[in-house]
Amino acid sequence: MFTLKVDNEIELQLFQQHHARSLYQLVESNREHLREWMPWVDSMTSPYQFESIIPIWLSQFAENSGLNVGILYKDELVGSIGLHQIDWHNRMTSIGYYLSKGAEGHGIITRSVKSLLNYAFFHLGLNRVEIRCGIKNKKSRAIPERLGFIKEGIIRDGEQLYGRFHDLFIYSMLARDWNKRIPYFDTNLTS
């Protein structure tokens, strides 16, 4: 099974079927918190839905077209992060993430994004990684800003959220820029 050890507290683990119930419980216990920025939350009403989605995620991983992993903090599932729709022709992807309310404030997403950037640039050989965040989502925007992503602009009405469109900031990191920031590759990858 694919895992990416971030540090002594955090591990990113490829979702497997046995994660369906804990993933559903994570969403269920953080429904109000996640609902503010995640348009899919209301549609997740049963762990069986995750049992249907996880094989799709596993296929994406096997086909090298995406990566959806759980964030384990001190061995507890606290969130999810992934590379969405890897575009191999242009060697680019985007990162999406969410975290439980109780796990905020520990730098978990920042550290996880750093590891995923190392994986994307050094292991996969991608050239560009984007992060898109609602312009009013200050916590999510803090991640790319803290890591030195370039804010490229605003995507007007970039996402529909519960019947209303909202604008997104688009941030990017290029491999050459990341190489300047992280001059080494920490090999914490296991599969």
Domain segments of the chain as ranges:
3-190
Q: Region 34-46: what's the mean pLDDT?
A: 87
What does the mean pLDDT of the chain come to? 92
- How far apart, in whole angstroms, are the C-alpha atoms of residue 144 and residue 151? 8
| 190 or 70, which is more confident | 70
Would the pLDDT of 56 be above 70?
Answer: yes
Indicate if the alpha-carbon torsion angle 30, 102, 15, 170 is positive or negative: positive
Would the pLDDT of 187 be above 80?
Answer: no
- How far apart, in whole angstroms, are the C-alpha atoms of residue 53 and residue 25? 15
Would the pLDDT of 41 be above 60?
Answer: yes
Q: Which residues contact 7 (CB under 8 A, 6 or more apart)?
A: 111
Residues 92-139 pLDDT 10s: 999 999 999 999 999 999 999 999 999 999 999 999 999 999 999 999
Would the pLDDT of 188 be above 60?
Answer: no
- How far apart, in whole angstroms, are the C-alpha atoms of residue 73 and residue 45? 25
Rounded percentage of the chain residues whose pLDDT exceeds 70? 95
Q: Region 9-32: what's the mean pLDDT?
A: 94
Q: Region 50-71: what's the mean pLDDT?
A: 95
Would the pLDDT of 190 be above 60?
Answer: no
CATH no. for 3-190: 3.40.630.30
Would the pLDDT of 176 be above 80?
Answer: yes
